[in-house]
Structure 1
Amino acid sequence: MEKIKNQKHSKEAFYYSISAMFQKASYYGLRALVVLYMIDGTLKMDNNEAFKIYGWIITALIFSKIIGALLGDLVIGNKRSIIIGTITQAIGAFSLCIPSMTGLYIGLFLTVTGSGLFTPNIISSFGKLYLNKIKLLDSGFTLFYLAINLGAFLGIMLLGYIGEYYGYNIGFIITGIVTLISIIPFVILKKEIASEIKNNKLSINKKIINISITFIVIALFWNIYQIANIRILGLQQQFDEISSFDFLKNKWQSINAFYALPISLIATILWSYFYSSQFFKLMLGFIFGTISLNILFFIPELPTEQHAIIFIISLFFLTVSEILIAPIVNSILTKYTNPKYLATIVSLAFLPTKLMTLAFALFNDTFYDNPILGVKFGIIAMGFIGIGLFSYVFWNREKMTY
């Protein structure tokens, strides 16, 4: 681990993070509201129909991000894409106030389009701030990840609450206003962004290999995470029923968020002063993930009060794993991608994850019927990936550092 000297985060990085925080608050707040609106609001949809539409939204967002990234990189520029995307998403939120299926579809289409324009282009613009201080990339993107997690948490908790208790239209209007607020920090910035990475001597083939490995690793991580989450959700419901834990009732699902914020903050500070290979951090992430699932495996199918502490410890290690992997992926993509096409590469990173999700969906019934099997699979898969990353890191140490 190398000490970082004479490099600091710029004020632009904090402004971009604030912008992303407000946008994610509005987007996740809207997502929390829209399903309830479809089922309990004016439309009175059947549950299956509502969740089917919700599923289409998530799938459409993948392709919307790719289109938004291509427009940002090749046609209108990243900054214009962010501004247009923000306004489009806000109009989408306001359109949901129209009490009809037409209003619903227009609102969802504009929301997905706007978020697709915003997300890859804000990540790209943020990453370009660090092109000439590459050793701060991990810290920067961990700060960015902290901001979007905070935004998502507040959006679901506050905007979802407002919409549910004060009326869906009020919720949609406030969501749209919050979306527009997210544009303010970005609009006032006028800093020129660096155009190239200093001292990057890796060959094109090596860059492609690093990016490809990153695509595969993040896809595997999120899908293993979702499979293990079947067991985690089941345990959360069981612990909710244990009377001794009334103080945590209905809060078990928020534990990860409570962990993520302080852990992200600590990691941001740590990576601001000390540098190590991004792939080394990925390796540590899968090691912590393996530890988490091993702990989870030893909780019996019918847990008792004594197992709650073990469960909390398992969630802690899983959150550490997430913080060591999720933000670092964007750091790697920024480091090894031509800045002119960074938003496009960032958007394409979502595609392998979705394709792998569709592949794993073939075994969903098996994992739902036997959640312990999903945990076993996760332990083996994370262990193998961790070993693979260990080999890659220590066989290529000199080539991975600047």
Structure 2
Amino acid sequence: MEKIQNRKHSIETFYYSLTRMLERASYYGFRALVVLYMTGETLKMDRTEALSIYGWFAGSMVFSQIIGGLFGDLLIGNKKAIIFGGIIQAIGAFSLCIPSTTGLYLGLFLVVLGSGFFTPNILSNFGKSYLNKTKLLDSGFTIFYLAINLGSFLGISLIGYSGEKFAYNIGFVISGILMLLSIVPIIISKEFNSEEFEKGETSISKRILNILIVFIVVGVFWGIYEISNIRIFDLQMQFSEISAWNISKSLWQTIGSIFTLPISLVAIILWTFFYSSQFFKLMVGFIFGAISFGVLFVIPEIPTENHTITYLISLVFLGISEIHIAPIILSISTKYANPKYLAILMSLAFLPTRLISLIFGLFNHKLYDNPMLGLKIGIVGMTVVGIGLIGYAWWNKKTTYNKELS
């Protein structure tokens, strides 16, 4: 572990993290309401139809982000793409206040389009703010990831509650206002020029290999996370019924994010002062992921109250796993990509996740009937990738050492 000399995060870190937090609050709050709105008294849709529309809405995000990345990198610039996306997304949230299917489809389309422009370009510009101090990339993206988790918790709590307690229109209006507020820090932030950054010494072939590994890792991790979540959700529902702890059902569903907060803070502080290999962090993440699923696996299919602590311990391990993987994937992509095309790369990074999710989705009926199967797949998948990363880290270190000797 190497001590970092330049430990200062820039003001852009605060601006971009605040923007992402507000945007995620708007998006997740909107998402928490939209199915309820479709099946409510206004539109009176069948639940199956509403979930089908929601599935198309979520799936189309991948393709809109590719369009947004292309526009940001090649045509209008990343900063303008973020601002444009934020405004369009806000208009989309406001459009759902129109009490008709026309308002619904218009709103969903604009949210998808706006998010497509917003997400890859803000990831790109945030990463670029660290390209002259790449050893802080891991810490920086962990701050960014913490902002995402805070935003999602805030959005679901504030907008979800407001929409259900008062009216769905109130929730959608709050979502739109938060979205407009999110672009204010971007407007006053610095624009980044790709020509200003230090040129890395890593060969092109090594850069491509590292990025390909990241693409595989991101798809496998979120794919495994999704199928294992079936068992986690099942346990959440059961513990909310049998636990003597005074915890609401909604809090049981977000309890994992509560552990993510302190773990993120520890990682941010540690990685701001000390640097270790990014692939080593990924390896640690997958090992802890395997341990987490292993702990979950020992909980019987029908748990008792005595298994509550075991379940919470597994969530702590899963939180450690997530923090060692999710922000680090973005950090590696930023470090080894060409800054001119970083938004495009960030948008393409969502494709493996979507592809693997579709593959796993073919077996959803089996996984829902047998949630323990998802855990078995998770344990094997996490262990195999973890071992592979150990091998790659060892090979990487050996080739670097041989290069220094020659």
- TM-score tier (shorter): over 0.9
Whole-angstrom CA distance in 2 between matches of 1:399 and 1:176: 51
Whole-angstrom CA distance in 1 between matches of 2:17 and 2:75: 25
Q: 2:310 matched to which residue of 1?
A: 310
Tell me the SS of whatever aligns to 1:244: coil
Moved more, 303-312 or 363-372: 363-372
Q: 2:94 matched to which residue of 1?
A: 94
Q: 1:229 matched to which residue of 2?
A: 229
Whole-angstrom CA distance in 2 between matches of 1:349 and 1:255: 28
Q: 1:358 matched to which residue of 2?
A: 358
**Does the Cα contact within 8 Å between 1:38 and 1:50 map onto a contact in 2?**
yes
**Does the Cα contact within 8 Å between 1:131 and 1:194 map onto a contact in 2?**
no
Q: 1:62 matched to which residue of 2?
A: 62
Tell me the SS of whatever aligns to 1:195: helix
Equivalent AA in structure 2 for residue 235 of structure 1: L
Q: How does 1:281-320 map to 2 (within 5 A)?
A: 281-320=281-320
Q: How does 1:11-50 map to 2 (within 5 A)?
A: 11-50=11-50
Q: How does 1:191-230 map to 2 (within 5 A)?
A: 192-193=192-193, 195=195, 197-198=197-198, 200-230=200-230
Quote how far apart the aligned CAs of 1:194 are.
5.5
The superposition leaves residues 140-166 of structure 1 with CA deviations (integer Å, 9 ceiling, x where unpaired) of 000000001100110011111111111
Quote how far apart the aligned CAs of 1:257 are.
1.0
Quote how far apart the aligned CAs of 1:190 are.
3.1
Q: How many residues align?
A: 402
Whole-angstrom CA distance in 2 between matches of 1:143 and 1:94: 30
The superposition leaves residues 336-393 of structure 1 with CA deviations (integer Å, 9 ceiling, x where unpaired) of 0000000000000000110111111122122111111211111111101000000101
Equivalent AA in structure 1 for residue 80 of structure 2: R
Tell me the SS of whatever aligns to 1:131: coil
Whole-angstrom CA distance in 2 between matches of 1:9 and 1:146: 15
Quote how far apart the aligned CAs of 1:200 are.
1.6
Whole-angstrom CA distance in 2 between matches of 1:194 and 1:134: 15
Tell me the SS of whatever aligns to 2:195: coil
**Does the Cα contact within 8 Å between 1:19 and 1:186 map onto a contact in 2?**
yes
Quote how far apart the aligned CAs of 1:243 are.
4.7
Moved more, 185-194 or 114-123: 185-194
Whole-angstrom CA distance in 2 between matches of 1:396 and 1:199: 20
Tell me the SS of whatever aligns to 2:125: helix
Moved more, 237-246 or 224-233: 237-246
Q: 2:154 matched to which residue of 1?
A: 154
Moved more, 189-198 or 218-227: 189-198
Q: Provide closer, same or farther for how the CA distance between residues 316 and 110 of structure 1 changes in structure 2, counting only shifts above 3 A.
A: same
Q: How does 1:261-300 map to 2 (within 5 A)?
A: 261-300=261-300
Whole-angstrom CA distance in 2 between matches of 1:20 and 1:333: 19
Percent identity at matched positions?
62
Whole-angstrom CA distance in 2 between matches of 1:253 and 1:342: 34
Q: Provide closer, same or farther for how the CA distance between residues 48 and 104 of structure 1 changes in structure 2, counting only shifts above 3 A.
A: same
- Mapped pair 1:327 → 2:327: yes
Q: 2:79 matched to which residue of 1?
A: 79
- Mapped pair 1:2 → 2:2: yes
Gap regions ≥5 residues in structure 1: none
Q: Provide closer, same or farther for how the CA distance between residues 373 and 183 of structure 1 changes in structure 2, counting only shifts above 3 A.
A: same
Whole-angstrom CA distance in 1 between matches of 2:101 and 2:166: 22
Q: Provide closer, same or farther for how the CA distance between residues 290 and 42 of structure 1 changes in structure 2, counting only shifts above 3 A.
A: same
Q: 1:251 matched to which residue of 2?
A: 251
Tell me the SS of whatever aligns to 1:299: coil
Q: Pairwise CA RMSD of aligned residues?
A: 1.5
TM-score (norm 1): 0.97
The superposition leaves residues 186-239 of structure 1 with CA deviations (integer Å, 9 ceiling, x where unpaired) of 101235456365352221111111101101111101111111111111111111
The superposition leaves residues 129-188 of structure 1 with CA deviations (integer Å, 9 ceiling, x where unpaired) of 000000000000000000011001100111111111111111111111110000111101
Tell me the SS of whatever aligns to 2:391: helix
Q: 2:143 matched to which residue of 1?
A: 143
